[in-house]
Structure 1
């Protein structure tokens, strides 16, 4: 998983998938501490999380040349993390995009780590 991490700070990290990825560019933004629900975050921590979600979303849009990135927070694992799904123009849309069969994360996705790192940091500097 370490090779897929493109942003990390003291509170959270962003990475391409985990070990399985079913959408090109699918990203996970995960809170490091065990927090069961968004409501358990302080307002400051919640704002920080959403600032990173915003910056990563913009990075994915540019890196994958798309105008839409779906955000999903499902709260099933009792751990705070977001799924981000870039949607290609003319590709699969809606819930169907998030339920495709899982495959190994493509090597091409891992080659995007450096670009996503730079774009995310750039976006955080322009907030």
Structure 2
């Protein structure tokens, strides 16, 4: 029985580490994508602004620049939502890890253990964590 509980704890510890690393990596990737989309939007804004003064550029070209800017702004919003979601997941993973580590609260520890196991079972390519 003790060996089985130790194996369970070891699997949960591995899942806990995987959860934290995965959440951190996902947040970093989302943040990088957000920054890249912000740069693209800023470049589109500069291109649009540089062509506002009377110039040989026609209205059709200005319309294309406005459309490019609108697409870039939409991309920023999508990436911002993805980043916010990844950040929330990373923070939740940290809370779970701390609850799992706090053995002075058996109910919180067990709840965190169960949630970490559930997370591990739902991740693509996750290892089996059944007893």
TM-score range, shorter chain: under 0.3
**TM-score, length of structure 1 as denominator length:** 0.27
- Higher helix fraction (1 or 2): 2
**TM-score, length of structure 2 as denominator length:** 0.26
Q: Which has the larger radius of gyration?
A: 2
- Higher strand fraction (1 or 2): 1
